Each structure stands twice: as C-alpha cells, then as structure tokens.
Amino acid sequence: MIAGILVYANVTDFFSYPNLGPVWIGIIGIGAAFAVTQLTTGISNRRALYSALTAAVLGVVLWWPVQYVFFYWPDWSAVLLLGAVALAVGALVGWLWGGHDRGVSIRTAMITAFISSALTLIDRIMGAWPDYVSNTGGRPIATIGSQTPDLGGSIWLQSVDTFSHLLLPTLTIMLISLASYSRYSRGSLLEVMSMDYVRTARAKGLNERTVVMRHAFRNALIPLATIVAFDLGGLIGGAVITETVFAWRGMGAMFVAALNIVDVNSIMGVFIVTSVFALLFNLLADIAYSVLDPRIRVS
C-alpha cells in the first residue's frame, strides 16, 4: 500500500503540486460517511447512511462553485460562510432522509458535510504550496520562528506558512502526551468494560458497537477529560523547551526571560494568566463530566 501511494505521488508529482481535487474529496468523503454512520448509529440504519452519503456527494458537486467563491472572495469570512452552509446543507439532507428518526440522520449528515467542507478548504490551501516553496527559497518546512519574515500574499499563502511553522512544534508537544493518553484510555476502558451496566447492556441484546460507543467509551473518557484539562492549562503556561528549540516567543520564553532579569510584573502576569486558564479548563472538565455521564449533574 505504501509503495502504491509513493508511486502515485511520483506519477502525479504530488509533492511539488499537492492537491485533493473532487476525486479524492469524494473518496475520502464517502469513506467518512461510512465511518461516521458506523460510529454514531451503525450501518444498519440505512436512512442515516444515505444521509451521510448524500452529504458526501454534495460536497463533491459543490467543489467547483466553492473554488470560484474562494478565488473572488479570499477572506476568512468566506471560510466561515462555507462551514455554515455545509452544516445547513447537512441538516437539510438529514431532515429529508430522516423519516421518523430525523435526529440521528441530521447529526450524521452534518458531521459528514463538515468533513467534506474541511477537505475542500484543505485542498484550496494546498494549492498555494508551489508559491510558498518559491517564496521561501525551497525550504518549506520551517524549523525556526512562528512565521516567515516579510512574507505577503493571500490568506492561502499565509495559511501554508502558519501550518509549516506549526508542524514540528505541534508534533513535538503532541508526541509527549500521546503515549500517556493512550495508556489512560486503554486502562479506563478495560475497567469500564467490566462494570455491571455494561453486562446489563449486553444482556439486553445490544450489539457490541452500541455497548462500546454509547455505554462504555463515554464513561471511560471521564478520567481522560481530567488529564486533558490539566495539560491544556499547563500548555497555556508555556512549553519552555519546545519554545526554546524552535525559537517561538510564547509564555514559557517570556517567563524565563522575566526570571533572568527579575521582572516581577511579567512573572505575576504569567501566573495570573496560567491560573485563570487552569480554572477555566477545570470548569470545562466538570461540564464535560455531565455530558459524558448522565448520572453526573452540575448544579
């Protein structure tokens, strides 16, 4: 499979002129339609599946007019309008296909429509890659700083620049937490799967997908929500090593610089901002508990 992908990329010169186009948007969208339907309600719900597939097909059909909109209206307001229209079209498709159970069909179609619109946006941003390479001297993956100095151009070129500078720092921070999140998720899910209510759900005759996704997995996310809230609060406070290696001017670099020159005001400012975000994310985690587990109520 990897060899086939590399051959395809070499034949189409994908790495020099990357794009998705309507063909790949359709293929990925249809795959997303099946995946979303399977995870949310199951493939056996034909109305939800047809709603998702219709949303994916409409995403391909609307690819051409969207390109004209992006060409004559290169602004983030056009991107927001695209997202709103995608969700509205998904809701309409789900309502038309839904029958007596419209809620599930609407949710499935809206998620698929959002994925298709995101693929269209990614395709448009990828189209700016050749211009970006020519404007950065042939070294597109940035290793230093948060942006290329004196780089002008459209929002698509600026988006590619932002992504290229975010890529390596984001991967660095993400890989630090990926292993711990995976271990916590696995351990929590194994613990939940032995609970009485999971055995009761199986005894009622529910299929394994419903038991895992609707009953077990939601409760297994509660410990993970607590850890993510703490990590997000700490991330706002700054990643000193990552910011130093990639020359990013963030909260961590500001805190270290303030310590070196004994700038009390800056140090207290960092503490206040970090504390506020820590409290905010803990509040969001408490709200997430009530969403994940109906037995928990926030009052």
Task: Indicate the range of 15-29, 79-93, 236-250, 259-273 predicted with least confidence.
Answer: 236-250
Distance CA 112, CA 59 (A): 9
The pLDDT score that the predictor gives to residue 296 is 64
4 pLDDT tier (thresholds 50, 70, 90): confident
Mean model confidence pLDDT for the chain: 83
Of 25-29, 138-142, 149-153, 274-278, which one has max mean pLDDT? 25-29
Q: Quick one: which of 62, 63, 41 has its CA closest to 52?
A: 41
pLDDT tens, position by position, 165-180: 888 888 888 887 788 8
Distance CA 27, CA 55 (A): 13
The pLDDT score that the predictor gives to residue 28 is 92
Do residues 29 and 59 make contact, with C-beta atoms less than 8 angstroms apart?
yes
Distance CA 212, CA 40 (A): 11
The pLDDT score that the predictor gives to residue 297 is 61
Distance CA 178, CA 40 (A): 24
Q: CB-side exposure of 57: number of CA atoms within 13 Å?
A: 7
DSSP secondary structure letters along 246-277: TT--SHHHHHHHHHHHT-HHHHHHHHHHHHHH
Q: What distance lies between CA 240 and its chain's CA centroid?
A: 25
Residue 116 is encoded by which pair of tokens? 């298709």
Distance CA 89, CA 130 (A): 33
pLDDT tens, position by position, 45-87: 888 889 999 999 999 998 888 888 888 888 888 889 888 999 9
Residue corresponding to tokens 């056996």:
44
The pLDDT score that the predictor gives to residue 200 is 84
Q: Quick one: which of 184, 180, 32 has its CA closest to 118?
A: 32
Is the pLDDT reported for residue 132 higher than 70? Answer: yes
Q: pLDDT > 90: what percent of the chain?
A: 13
What is the mean predicted confidence (pLDDT) over 256-270? 82
What is the mean predicted confidence (pLDDT) over 128-135? 84
